[in-house]
Chains A and B, each alone.
Chain A
Amino acid sequence: MYRYDEFDAAFVKARAGEFRDQVARRLSGALTEDEFKPLRLMNGLYLQLHAYMLRVAIPYGVLNGAQMRKLAEISETYDRGYGHFTTRQNIQFNWPKLKDAPAILDELASVGMHAIQTSGNCIRNTTTDPFAGVAPDEIEDPRATCELIRQWSSLHPEFTFLGRKFKIAVTGAEADRAAIRVHDIGIQIVRSEAGETGYRIFVGGGLGRTPMIGKVVREFLPKPDLLRYLEACLRIYNLHGRRDNKYKARIKILVHEIGIEAYRDEVEAEFASLAGTISPDAEEEARIAAYFASPEYAALAEASAFYERAKREDPDFAAWARRNVHPHRAPGYAAATISLKPIGGAPGDATAEQMRAMAEIAERHSLDELRVTHEQNVVLPHLKLDDLPIVWRKLKAQGLDAPNRGLVTDIIACPGLDYCALATARSIPVAQRIAERFADPTLQERIGPLSIKISGCINACGHHHIAHIGVLGLDKAGVESYQLTLGGDATETAAIGERTGPGFSYEDVVDAIETLIGAYLDRREPGETFLQCYRRLGMEAFKEPLYAAA
């Protein structure tokens, strides 16, 4: 993984110093609250319902054991002993004090971490496939591209006061595990017919109040042109994006209003005329890429008799292996998902003790590397098959062994009414009730791949639009009401879910979801997933049983 050198470290240290100065200048009155707000947001500090919230950047979701340990320590020293992993592969602390924020940033800087641009109207953390560099189907490791973008976008003089936030995601495979089509810019690494590696660029995707699937703005971009092209894309957005209404200020609205053709023409003209050098030299690009070279794997056999026997002997381990273990490009290795979705837990939360356990396992068994996923789980990317049983036992000792990756209880939920000032309904308690209803692992496996995502308001932080079953909590005359959507999809077959009809009460929403799943189990064909079944049968087949009882 990328390691900060003296220059990256100096940059981060300077930023921490700058924020310390800004806090002091706010307190002295040199900065007004209006002026201070975007500055604190650009350093990851939100004012939430009950307290400040600090969002720490985990660039493209990759971190090492020492960094995870530091997060654990911060959660104990400055917070309530836990952290919350987010859908943008970052971590949030929900209870820090403003006066402690500069000290926390110093602590983070000591392990090469920071909170720069995790909020505010700027280019946010670039996200990617949690199996980057590991997945067998990958054309190229997307992390080198992510790191190039991280550096380019860090305090970019031109793009730090945009009309609205700006999110970029990169994937190195055709199978999209980074949800690139619902980002402001999505980047797919592709290979041309001539065998040249380059990028397909999507623009104008997003969720929120106006969900949209990104459109292709450039079918093939040669690799060396990436930053120049992004600069053109951002400049057209910065100059022409709407500033009159914050809910219409994302690039998706600009692209929608002027049309993808007009946007593309503007970008291509800008791209052609951009003067001066934008990308660092080839030597620097090679330096970055070298950090993501394949690690030194042991020479192992393709299969492990020890692992196979452990699966035969312990059905619980076998269930976890079926759901949470993923193929790896190196023989004798696997990647594994640590589910942060135990039955009854708050999705994405981990205690300090769990974070330390994950750090220890990564250091001992996973070449000192962890990945945060946009599904709010953590991945151990480099495990020997022989080590899987011991890793599983260590996870089990910490309650981190839920065998539910991608199943009905692997729920994404926003913080909701319990924490968030914007929320109009509870989210986490709904997730917990759904998980409890479907707690039986056998039932979960029988239902198969199914994503449920819950947002507590129309801002859609819980990504309900791209869930197979989406849940949107609203306030109807003082009462929580939950609308359901069906058929959303975050992958290469991306789709925005369709509303079933009137919403359900807090009490009834779990029954409603059970009815939908029942309808699927009744009518599915062998091997058909919920999403496939919905696409074959259409809305009416689900709507009818859903509202029949009412």
Chain B
Amino acid sequence: MPLRDGTGPIPDDWTKVEPGAPLAARSLLGLADAEARGAELGGIDPRSLGLRVANDAERARLLPWLRKVGLIALAFPSFADGRAFSLGRWLRERGHEGRLRAEGPVIADQWPHLRGCGFDEVEIPEALAARQPEAQWKAAEARIALGYQVGRPGRQAISAARREARR
């Protein structure tokens, strides 16, 4: 499925690995699979591991992986189901420094919200990418510039812009 970040379409250098299947150079594993593998993952550079996480996953299960894995891909079963916005933001607050991916049929209009919650990239279905080509995502990117919330990645808060304008 097509993958893009703030720069545009990007190649996916992660391999989705089925439960129990051999690992690849950079393996994207289901959370339960990663948990089940236990010691097998012990000798591996955790930055070469990624986790695919459902949007109703218990947050405690993610704590052992924080500050270690190179990628967390949060599922959006539908664009209207916004639970992963909170989950993504929480992961960033708790120190996840790897990539953060939204996986599912999110729409270009949500790109500013995704960026505001700390997501780096989206992996969307082919048909959706065909309907919403890159130009629409770029247009959404341009709308990030101005927002009221404080401390959001990639943009200045309106209150801070005001303060600067006064000086």
A residues sitting closer than 8 Å to B (CB atoms) are: 5-8, 10-11, 14, 18, 21-22, 25, 29-32, 35, 38-39, 121, 151-152, 154-163, 235, 238-239, 243, 273-281, 283-284, 287
Contacts and interface: CB of A to CB of B under 8 A. Distances in A.
Given A18-B143, A151-B148, A280-B157, A30 B82 contact: no
Given A29-B131, A121-B80, A39 B86 contact: no
* Consensus secondary structure, chain B interface: helix
Given A29-B131, A243-B83, A284-B159, A235 B90 contact: yes
Contacts of A239: 59, 83, 86-87
Nearest to A243: B81
Contact of A31 (B93, B107, B148, B158): B107
Contacts of B113: 155, 157-158, 160-161
B15 interface: no
B85 A238 contact: yes
B131 A11 contact: no
Given A31-B107, A235-B90, A281-B159, A161 B150 contact: no
A134 to B, nearest CB: 27
B116 interface: yes
B136 A156 contact: no
8 contacts: A5-B162, A31-B131, A151-B158, A154-B148, A155-B148, A157-B115, A158-B117, A238-B82
Most chain A beta-carbon neighbours within 10 Å: one of B80, B90, B117 = B80
A163 B81 CA distance: 7
Contacts, number: 115
B22 interface: no
B4 interface: no
A11 B148 contact: yes
A157 B162 contact: no
B143 A278 contact: no
B98 interface: no
B141 to A, nearest CB: 12
A156 B81 CA distance: 15
Contact of B107 (A35, A121, A154, A162): A35
Contacts of B110: 161
Interface in B109-126: 109-110, 112-117
Given A7-B158, A30-B136, A284-B163, A277 B150 contact: yes
Contacts of B80: 38, 121, 161
Contacts of B158: 7-8, 11, 151
Most chain B beta-carbon neighbours within 10 Å: one of A21, A35, A151, A277 = A35
A239 B113 CA distance: 16
A279 B159 CA distance: 10
Contacts of B41: none
A235 B149 contact: no
Interface in B139-159: 139, 143, 146-152, 157-159
B34 to A, nearest CB: 21
Given A21-B139, A158-B89, A7 B162 contact: yes
B162 A284 contact: yes
A281 B94 CA distance: 23
Most chain A beta-carbon neighbours within 10 Å: one of B85, B136, B147 = B85
B115 to A, nearest CB: 8
Contact of B116 (A121, A158, A284): A158
B161 interface: yes
9 interchain residue pairs of minimum CB distance: A157-B116, A161-B82, A280-B159, A284-B159, A275-B93, A157-B113, A151-B148, A238-B86, A276-B151
A276 B83 contact: no
A158 B85 contact: yes
Contacts of A161: 79-82, 85, 110, 113
A415 B83 CA distance: 33
A238 B150 contact: no
Nearest to A154: B148
Given A35-B107, A158-B117, A7 B152 contact: no
Contacts of B152: 157
B27 to A, nearest CB: 27
Interface in B83-109: 83, 85-87, 89-90, 93-94, 107, 109
A355 to B, nearest CB: 29
A25 B135 CA distance: 12
A11 B146 contact: yes
Contacts of B86: 158, 235, 238-239
Nearest to A281: B159
Given A239-B83, A276-B151, A281-B163, A10 B157 contact: no
A274 B116 contact: no
Contacts of A38: 80
A22 B136 CA distance: 10
A41 to B, nearest CB: 11
Contacts of A273: 93
Contacts of A25: 136
Contacts of B136: 25, 30
Nearest to B140: A18
Contacts of A152: 148-149
B79 A14 contact: no
Contacts of B114: 157
A251 B82 CA distance: 15
Contacts of A158: 82, 85-86, 89, 113, 116-117
A160 B82 contact: yes
Nearest to B149: A156
A153 to B, nearest CB: 8
A254 to B, nearest CB: 13
Contacts of B165: 6-7
B57 to A, nearest CB: 10
A35 B149 contact: no
A281 B131 CA distance: 42
Contacts of A30: 131-132, 136
